[in-house]
Amino acid sequence: MSVNQANASVHDKTDIQLSVRNLCVDYITSNGDVRAVSNVSFDIGRGEVFGLAGESGCGKSTVAFSVCRLHKPPAFISAGEIIFNGKDILKFDDEQLRQYRWKESAMVFQSAMNSLNPVLTLEEQFCDVLLAHTNMTRQECIKRAGQLLEVVDIHPSRLSDYPHQFSGGMRQRLVIAIALALNAKLIIMDEPTTALDVVVQREILQKIYQLKEEFGFSILFITHDISLMVEFCDRIGIMYAGELAEVAPAKNILTKPNHPYTEGLGNAFPPLHGEKKRLVGIPGTPLNLFEVPVGCRFQARCPYVKDICRKEYCTLTEVAPGEFSACHLHKDGIVDIIALEKQPVQG
């Protein structure tokens, strides 16, 4: 398999905030090692919102956690580079890593309910991170914490409250406020709104977007909700079985998919406008990573599968300006999905 993949980048070198290069993450299990993330490469520009989407278990959260080196055993990063502002964070020692965390890249976790420490007051949870990274006095920390609360529309007087005294949506805003504490340049959001209802979801996303415009940080946004992502992100990477299947601008991803898997995902979501049409799922089940086939990982579920897909691995390649695909059919630029749709080749 080629190491010199396309970097799925559309940015100038100077404009890149985070660059993930051929990242491989393995899980060591008693049944053998599993490569949960395989040769994933992408760049995130300054102020850009980059989305990673895919079904459960495709490795998107593993990528997110790797970017902060927060992956837990049995996972370990077996190859690749994660370049942040020109430095490979995989080479950081413990102290460098500690300083990098939150100061450079902060994280908003999936479950707002559980990501705040239940026995510490908010003040304590703001102050510990501020004190760990800055020379501020405690008084200054409290003042800063109050300002941050105001940013997410929560009254500063509530600093002395405990997490259980807030609603789910408020807690997620609190976590976002903590994420903003050190003006991190990248905020990783691992399904930040999954645990919330759609109304609160929208409220949170609007808040995040507004803050991003204001503070100019980049976002790595992880979700399995593609329609949400299309609205929110600048560019999207679609992951399947630990690999990037496609990277493309958000506006194109559903209308002009460059990978049969993306197309399948698009078909599985109801359109907001236009006539109702029957939703089509993707046949089959996600790939068992213990049984990775030769060739394309999506071959068993792909409606357009060809002989070459069963023989040759396809690397992520630029198929159109700013659009990358890991599909043989798109790579050569000879196959038009629309044409294929008329005569689907049954796998």
DSSP H helices in the chain: 60-67, 94-100, 122-133, 138-151, 168-179, 198-215, 226-232, 250-253, 260-267, 307-311, 328-331, 337-342
Binding status of residue 129 toward other proteins by CB under 8 A: yes
Binding status of residue 92 toward other proteins by CB under 8 A: no
The least distance separating other proteins from the CB of residue 165, rounded to whole angstroms, comes to: 5
In the DSSP assignment, the letter for residue 327 is -
Binding status of residue 128 toward other proteins by CB under 8 A: yes
Binding status of residue 114 toward other proteins by CB under 8 A: yes
Closest to 315 (Cα-Cα) out of 264, 259, 235, 262 = 259
Q: How far is CA 311 from the centre of its chain?
A: 30
Total residues interacting with other proteins, rule: CB under 8 A: 34
Which span (24-32, 93-101, 234-242, 313-321) binds other proteins, by CB under 8 A? 93-101
Q: Report the residue from 6, 34, 70, 151 that binds other proteins according to the rule CB under 8 A.
A: 70
Closest to 265 (Cα-Cα) out of 255, 274, 249, 254 = 254
Q: Report the residue from 42, 50, 84, 102 that binds other proteins according to the rule CB under 8 A.
A: 102
Q: Which is nearer to other proteins, 195 or 253 (CB)?
A: 195
Which span (16-24, 67-75, 216-224, 334-342) binds other proteins, by CB under 8 A? 67-75
The least distance separating other proteins from the CB of residue 49, rounded to whole angstroms, comes to: 20
Q: Which is nearer to other proteins, 108 or 309 (CB)?
A: 108
Residue 233 token pair: 């992100």
Binding status of residue 221 toward other proteins by CB under 8 A: no
H or E segment to which residue 218 belongs: strand 218-223
Q: Report the residue from 38, 39, 62, 110 that binds other proteins according to the rule CB under 8 A.
A: 110
Q: Report the residue from 140, 161, 203, 231 that binds other proteins according to the rule CB under 8 A.
A: 161
For residues 23 and 244, the answer to whether their CB atoms sit within 8 Å is no
For residues 36 and 62, the answer to whether their CB atoms sit within 8 Å is yes
For residues 104 and 185, the answer to whether their CB atoms sit within 8 Å is yes
Q: Report the residue from 11, 46, 87, 133 that binds other proteins according to the rule CB under 8 A.
A: 133
Other CB atoms within 10 A of residue 327 CB = 27
Binding status of residue 111 toward other proteins by CB under 8 A: yes
For residues 303 and 327, the answer to whether their CB atoms sit within 8 Å is no
Among all chains, which residue has been given the structure tokens 């645990």?
Answer: 195
Binding status of residue 138 toward other proteins by CB under 8 A: no
d(Cα 71, Cα 78) in Å, to the nearest integer?
12
> Site mask, other proteins, residues 293-312, x = CB under 8 A?
--------------------
H or E segment to which residue 106 belongs: strand 105-108
Q: Which is nearer to other proteins, 82 or 282 (CB)?
A: 82
Q: Report the residue from 58, 106, 145, 230 that binds other proteins according to the rule CB under 8 A.
A: 106
Q: Which amino acid is at 62?
A: T
Binding status of residue 204 toward other proteins by CB under 8 A: no
Identify the bridge partners of residue 88 per DSSP, sorted by sequence position: 83
Binding status of residue 142 toward other proteins by CB under 8 A: no
The least distance separating other proteins from the CB of residue 178, rounded to whole angstroms, comes to: 8
Identify the bridge partners of residue 51 per DSSP, sorted by sequence position: 221, 236
Q: Which is nearer to other proteins, 16 or 195 (CB)?
A: 195
Q: Which is nearer to other proteins, 53 or 195 (CB)?
A: 195
Binding residues for other proteins (CB under 8 A)? 68, 70, 72, 97-103, 106-107, 109-111, 114-121, 128-129, 132-133, 160-162, 164-165, 175, 178
